[in-house]
Amino acid sequence: MASASETGHVANREYRSDHEGFLRHRGFRWMKIATALCVVCIAAYFLTDPKPRPGGGTWIGYTLGTIGALLIVWLSLLGIRKRAITEGRWSLKAWTSAHVYLGLSLIVVATLHTGFQLGWNVHTLAYALMMLVIVSGMFGIWAYASLPTALSTNREQMTQGQMVDAIRALDRQLHEAAQPLARGPSDLVLAALEEDPFSPGLLRRLSGHYSGCATQKALEGLALSGSADPEIERVEKLLVRRKAQLERMRRHMRLKAMLEVWLYVHVPATMALLAALTAHIVSVFYYW
């Protein structure tokens, strides 16, 4: 029967395993496996002497190509794997960790497979698409490792829905406060209220620059009026609060866009890579 101390150690290991990130999964298990794979491939490449020269058409080239092709196909199955919920050795965290490190190992495996011979053909196209997938995936790794913390800090324990509700509450106050104003200041406030903070496209969200912000224009217009009217001052204070809430929401949308934008490259490039890889394999065996 296990002692309380042993049970505690097991529980601690399980807790650390559950809360560690996918990059550190099981003490960097998949990084070690991927590194070992790269070392074996490099050793095999440089310790053999294929004739007439190293390349994809030699026995080592076919071996490396087979390893690379199998890895690409397996790595592309992550999207399907995400739909299944399992624990243990092949949990989603373990699969994602393997996806990252084995995907990076393809840089070595596929480059050695080419024998450093590239040209304007379908073979190089497959290699270029593979590199595009890997580079976009590296951006995704950085995004998922760093941006969630920034998202949480920006929200300050507020949900997206609560941020939207805060802006709408200010809008109602501004709408009432603008009623006694003269036509000019009132139009500035109404223009700010009519601006949809969610309408900017992906590029605007990624840049985080909103040079035509109607709320900022309303603040500048009221400041230029130089009026000491208490009603104007009340509206200005509300506009300052609205601007701060908008800036928080825009930072939130920018961070979310950065978390998602790489997939617009990664997924289509993966599909293109599978097509180019198929053409590469078919052409190789057709002309073999």
CB atoms within 10 A of CB 136: 19
Residue 93 lies in a domain: yes
Looking at the structure, tell me whether residues 92 and 142 fall in a common domain. Answer: yes
For residue 50, pLDDT over 80 is answered with: no
Residue 88 lies in a domain: yes
If 0-12 CB within 10 Å is exposed, 13-18 middle and 19+ buried, where does residue 251 land? Answer: middle
Averaged pLDDT of the chain: 84
At residue 16 the predicted structure's pLDDT band, cuts being 50, 70 and 90, is: very low
Looking at the structure, tell me whether residues 251 and 278 fall in a common domain. Answer: no
Residue 195 lies in a domain: yes
pLDDT on residue 265? 92
At residue 12 the predicted structure's pLDDT band, cuts being 50, 70 and 90, is: very low
Structure tokens at 187: 């139009």
Number of domains composing the chain? 2
Looking at the structure, tell me whether residues 125 and 170 fall in a common domain. Answer: no
If we measure between CA atoms, which residue out of 24, 34, 29, 22 comes closest to residue 105?
34
Q: Could you list the residue range(s) of the whole structural domain that residue 75 is in? A: 25-146+262-286
The most confident of 89-98, 243-252, 269-278, by mean pLDDT: 269-278
Contact 118, 124 (CB under 8 A): yes
Looking at the structure, tell me whether residues 275 and 142 fall in a common domain. Answer: yes
Residue 4 lies in a domain: no
pLDDT in tens, 114-154: 988 888 999 999 999 999 999 999 999 999 888 888 888 88
pLDDT on residue 225? 73
pLDDT in tens, 193-206: 888 877 777 777 88
pLDDT in tens, 53-73: 667 778 888 899 999 999 999
CB atoms within 10 A of CB 163: 19
pLDDT on residue 80? 64
Q: How far is 33 from 18, CA to CA, in rounded Å?
A: 21
Q: Percentages helix, strand, coil for the chain, rounded to the nearest 5? A: 80, 0, 20
Residue 18 lies in a domain: no
- What amino acid is encoded at 191 in this protein? A
Q: DSSP code of 91?
A: S
For residue 3, pLDDT over 60 is answered with: no
pLDDT on residue 206? 81
pLDDT over 90, % of the chain: 37
Residue 137 lies in a domain: yes
Per-residue CA distances from 161 to 158, 196, 208 (Å): 8, 15, 20
Containing 67, the helix (H) or strand (E) segment is helix 59-75
Looking at the structure, tell me whether residues 114 and 139 fall in a common domain. Answer: yes
Contact 34, 104 (CB under 8 A): yes
Q: How far is 26 from 93, CA to CA, in rounded Å?
A: 10
Looking at the structure, tell me whether residues 267 and 247 fall in a common domain. Answer: no
Looking at the structure, tell me whether residues 210 and 266 fall in a common domain. Answer: no
- Provide the residue count of the chain: 288
Of residues 198 and 24, which shows the higher confidence score? Answer: 24
Looking at the structure, tell me whether residues 256 and 270 fall in a common domain. Answer: no
Q: How far is 254 from 139, CA to CA, in rounded Å?
A: 15
Contact 97, 66 (CB under 8 A): no
Per-residue CA distances from 118 to 41, 57, 123, 135 (Å): 19, 13, 8, 19
Residue 257 lies in a domain: yes
pLDDT on residue 14? 44
pLDDT over 70, % of the chain: 86
Sorted by sequence, the CB contacts under 8 Å of residue 237 that are 6+ apart come out as: none
Block residue for tokens 């995004």: 143
Residue 154 lies in a domain: no
pLDDT on residue 5? 46
Looking at the structure, tell me whether residues 91 and 196 fall in a common domain. Answer: no
Of residues 182 and 73, which shows the higher confidence score? Answer: 73
pLDDT on residue 83? 53
